[in-house]
Chains A and B, each alone.
Chain A
Amino acid sequence: MLTICFSEVNHFMSATATNTGMTNPGITNIGQISIITHDTPRATAFYRDVLGLPLLFTAGNMAFFDCGGVRLMLGPASSPELDHPSSILYFRVPDINAAHRHLIEMGVEIVAPPRLIAPMKDYDLWMVGFRDSEGNIMQLMSEVPRSS
């Protein structure tokens, strides 16, 4: 996983240097994303047991997960300004129908069933919308290669 990430970063860095010259300040990747919780133990159980993500560690009222090299930081809002829903995160899955069935079996609220979002050049992009335990809308996504 690390090897893949670094090769992507290198590719990205060289492409960006060409495109934007001196303006590139050296951003290599997203290291972390914050997700506001209203009940951190409940959210921790959801991300660990329902979504199956590896729990890295907890620190006070915060819980940190790994998702393919990006850290998710779950915790309460530190100020009223930050107390709003999360950005929609699109989680990649190998098989969208299997993942959809899994969410249903776990009692997750589905807000949009599996559907073809966009036929891209080499693949079809499928998504499923659901809500996490904190009411955030999230999506599963899968790029399904065309057989032809």
Chain B
Amino acid sequence: MNQQENAALTRIGQIAINAHDVDRATAFYRDVLGLQHLFRAGQLSFFDCGGVRLMLDRAEKPEFDHPSSILYFQVGNIRAAHKRIKDAGAKFEDEPHVIAQMPKYDLWMTFFRDSENNLLALMSEVPRPAATE
């Protein structure tokens, strides 16, 4: 690899998510979202989501004590996922809806809150019948 390739940002390895109560947040990401819990290290709790690690943590400094970026979790069937997560106790802001018509698919989304009141979303790319031939 040359110098440029060595310095290249290849992918997202981890995302930090602020939690005010790491036990409560761990239960939410494990039991409501069904993500795989990797390990716990003190006040840090790690999950895997399709190869990206999520790190739940209490803010170290006031500067870091703000909500998470919106993470858009990909699902195959957004209506079924919406129902399962809602039935498991998550608070949704809306119903699944088409947010953008892309050339080959419709992009569906629905927004919800985690146990720490972070705004998150489910997303699903639904191919158009004409594009699947």
Interface residues of A (CB under 8 A from B): 4-5, 8-9, 12, 15-16, 19-20, 23-36, 51-53, 67-71, 81-82, 84-95, 98-99, 101-102, 137, 139-141
Interface status of B126 (Cβ within 8 A of chain A): no
CB of B56, distance to nearest CB on chain A (Å): 11
Beyond contacts A23-B32, A81-B119: 15 other A-B pairs, Cβ-Cβ < 8 A, are A5-B50, A12-B51, A20-B34, A25-B81, A25-B88, A27-B34, A27-B49, A33-B12, A34-B70, A35-B69, A68-B11, A90-B12, A98-B3, A99-B8, A139-B14
Contact with A along B15-46 (1 / 0, CB 8 A): 11110000000000011111111000000000
Can you report 9 A-B residue pairs in the complex whose CB atoms are below 8 A from each other? A8-B50, A12-B36, A26-B84, A27-B73, A27-B81, A29-B49, A29-B51, A85-B66, A87-B18
Contacts of B132 in A (CB 8 A): none
Q: Which of B56-93 contact A (CB under 8 A)?
A: 63-64, 66-77, 80-81, 84-85, 88
Contacts of B129 in A (CB 8 A): none
Contact in complex: B34, A33 (CB < 8 Å): no
CB of B106, distance to nearest CB on chain A (Å): 14
Contact with A along B105-128 (1 / 0, CB 8 A): 000000000000001001101000
Grouping DSSP codes into helix (H, G, I), strand (E, B) and loop, the A interface class, with mixed when no group exceeds half, is mixed
Contact of B74 among A27, A88, A101, A139 (CB under 8 A): A27
With contact pairs A85-B66, A90-B14, A91-B13 given, residues A33 and B71 touching in the complex (Cβ less than 8 Å): yes
Query: Which residue of chain A lies nearest to B51 when distances are taken between CB atoms in the complex?
Result: A8
- Complex CA distance for A30 and B123, rounded to whole angstroms: 9
Contact in complex: A93, B33 (CB < 8 Å): no
Contacts of A84 in B (CB 8 A): 66-67
CB of B59, distance to nearest CB on chain A (Å): 11
With contact pairs A23-B31, A23-B32, A89-B15 given, residues A140 and B9 touching in the complex (Cβ less than 8 Å): yes
- Complex CA distance for A71 and B70, rounded to whole angstroms: 12
CB of A119, distance to nearest CB on chain B (Å): 13
With contact pairs A26-B75, A94-B6 given, residues A88 and B31 touching in the complex (Cβ less than 8 Å): no
CB of B102, distance to nearest CB on chain A (Å): 10
Contact in complex: A34, B36 (CB < 8 Å): no
Contact of B73 among A31, A95, A141 (CB under 8 A): A31
With contact pairs A5-B50, A23-B31 given, residues A90 and B13 touching in the complex (Cβ less than 8 Å): yes
